Amino acid sequence: MFAYKRIEARIGEYIAAHYHNVVEVGIGRNADAAALCARAGLRVRATDIREPPEVPGVESRVDDVYAPDLPWYAGADLVYAVRPGVEMVPPLIDLARAIGCDLIVYHLGNEIYEHGGEIIDCGPVLHRYYRP
């Protein structure tokens, strides 16, 4: 298994152990964390600026984090992003705040936003930027 696939597996395992209703923003073509969460029985939704991949158990749609369709995110207890551009973190924080849920980000390399938020070490290092 490639190292980056192990990272997504650990992220998915952490999320599945701590949350129930999650949304991955900016899923792109890497749906491994979302798929693991869906197999674990979570309600999983995913968005991307382009058509997201079809993943069993994952509701998906095109949406822009800079102008999100807030009702679609209702009920989520977590919004998360895997390797988003750092410029996406402020609108992700705004989204989590608007719907009243946690925000967790796994960054590319050593990239962080501002102070880096609360650190969660689940193998890969996650950053919780918002917790209501």
Domains of the chain by range and CATH? 1-130 (3.40.50.150)
In the beta sheet, which residues pair with residue 103? 79, 130
Q: pTM of the full predicted structure?
A: 0.94
Mean pLDDT to the nearest integer, 21-30: 96
Mean pLDDT of 58-73: 97
pLDDT tens profile 76-117: 999 999 999 999 999 999 999 999 999 999 998 878 888 889
Confidence class for position 28, pLDDT limits 50, 70, 90: very high
Strand 78-82 versus strand 102-106 pairing type: parallel
